[in-house]
Amino acid sequence: MIDLVVAGGGPAGLATAIHAARAGLEVVVVEKRTGPIDKACGEGLMPHAVRQLHLLGVEPVGRPFRGVRYLQGDRCVTAQFGSGSGLGVRRTSLHAALLQQTAAAGVSLVHDKIGAITQDADSVSVSAGRAGIRARYLAAADGLHSPIRAALGLHADAGGTRRWGLRRHVAVPPWSDCVEVYWSATPGAGEAYVTPVADDCVGIAILTSEQGRFEQHLAAFPALRDRVAGHPHQPDMAAGPLRQKVRSRVAGRVLLVGDAAGYVDALTGEGLGLAFAASRLLVDSVVADRPGDYERRWRRTTRRYRLMTAGMLHASTSPLRPLIVPAADRLPRVFTGLVNLLAD
């Protein structure tokens, strides 16, 4: 019997495995996909997420950014980080760096699909292809629409307006040293996030509650559309619905981490940073053999993010939406303070 089996080899799962190996645990990661994994993602790591990567010994190739800039029509307001730079990094580059550190930590990686899960008072067993793995604990890092979460009855109805994310890489040199957020005054049109991810590339992520292709959504942001017009781009990717509500992050010896543990919205760009922080909490709970501690500490660690993101999401879908960027422009110190509450 090993100490920990991790279901899912994305950033949350690999971070959990690295922390576990460093804590002296015997850990196996099960992931059916091979090679660096890509997905729709804003690809902007806030300063606290960059610090979490440093703790893991992971140094992905990317492009630093110094703050966040919101734009709406002729309004523009910028908040600079007070605790270091963020990092724009392509998802595949991040995943490759995590895979390299996972191998260096001596973690076993099994390329197969997780099947049936059974558990008793002392262990949890999973089937992976034709093989079976028995461990003291299972970390479910199987993504936004976690099959393990659903199988254990931990999924709850999220309610509210559904939102999706779409991402495109455009071959154009970054024109800003900030993540730019193009804010539409129309609620359904959402927001467009531009992140510098390389010296010759930006990532554009659009969050919206409306259906349609990337070009249709980009048309809601004419200044951005015109800036990138004519530049080559890679195929678009999409993800959603984004909001995922979870009854509990712990079910016996199964602990949820990353997007599987619940998700409010990508509005504040905190998903990866929280996943990295939660991976440490999960491993601490496994080492102490106190899985119940994980739920309590997860709630405490993510509380500020959940409240602020839910508040911004509510305002963005209300009649107040057209007033948000003008208000931030009139109160730049307040805006900077709010950005740094999330960035730190």
pLDDT band at 28 (very low <50, low <70, confident <90, very high): very high
SS3 content of the chain, % helix, strand, coil (to 5): 35, 30, 35
pTM over 0.85: yes
* pLDDT of residue 129 exceeding 80: no
| pLDDT score recorded for residue 26 | 98
C-alpha pair distances (Å), 313 with each of 57, 75, 103: 34, 20, 39
Residue 316 is predicted with a pLDDT of: 81
Confidence label for 160 from pLDDT (cuts 50, 70 and 90): confident
Q: What is the mean pLDDT of residues 110-117?
A: 93
What pLDDT score does 22 carry?
Answer: 97
Residue 85 lies in a domain: no
- Average pLDDT estimate for 8-27: 98
pLDDT above 80 (res 130) = no
pLDDT value for 3? 98
Tell me if 52 is assigned to some domain. yes
Categorize the per-residue pLDDT at 16 as very low, low, confident or very high, splitting at 50, 70 and 90.
very high
In a domain, 209, yes or no: no
pLDDT value, residue 161: 83
Domain that holds residue 146: 2-61+90-159+243-317
Q: What is the mean pLDDT of residues 261-278?
A: 91
Whether 124 is covered by a domain: the verdict is yes
At residue 37, what are phi and psi to the nearest 5 degrees? -100, 130
What's the pLDDT band for 173 if we cut at 50, 70, 90?
A: very high
Q: Report the pLDDT value the prediction gives residue 113, as an integer from 0 to 100.
A: 92
Q: Is the pLDDT of residue 124 over 90?
A: yes
293 lies in some domain: yes
pLDDT class for 44, splitting at 50, 70, 90? very high
Residue 71 counted as domain residue: no
286 lies in some domain: yes
Per-residue burial over 21-35, b = 16 or more CB atoms within 10 Å of its CB, e = otherwise:
beeebbbbbbbeeee
Q: How many domains does the chain have?
A: 1
pLDDT at res. 159: 81
Average pLDDT score, the chain: 94
Give me the residues paired with residue 117 across strands: 126
Q: What is the CA radius of gyration of the chain?
A: 20
Do 79 and 66 meet the contact criterion of CB atoms below 8 Å apart? no
Q: Give pLDDT, residue 166.
A: 97
Mean pLDDT, residues 255-271:
92
Between 313 and 234, the higher pLDDT residue = 234
Nearest CA among 65, 90, 134, 137 for reference residue 237:
90
pLDDT number for residue 268: 84
- Which domain CATH number covers 56? 3.50.50.60
Residue 73 within a domain: no
Q: How much of the chain exceeds pLDDT 90, in percent? A: 83
State the pLDDT at residue 312.
Answer: 85
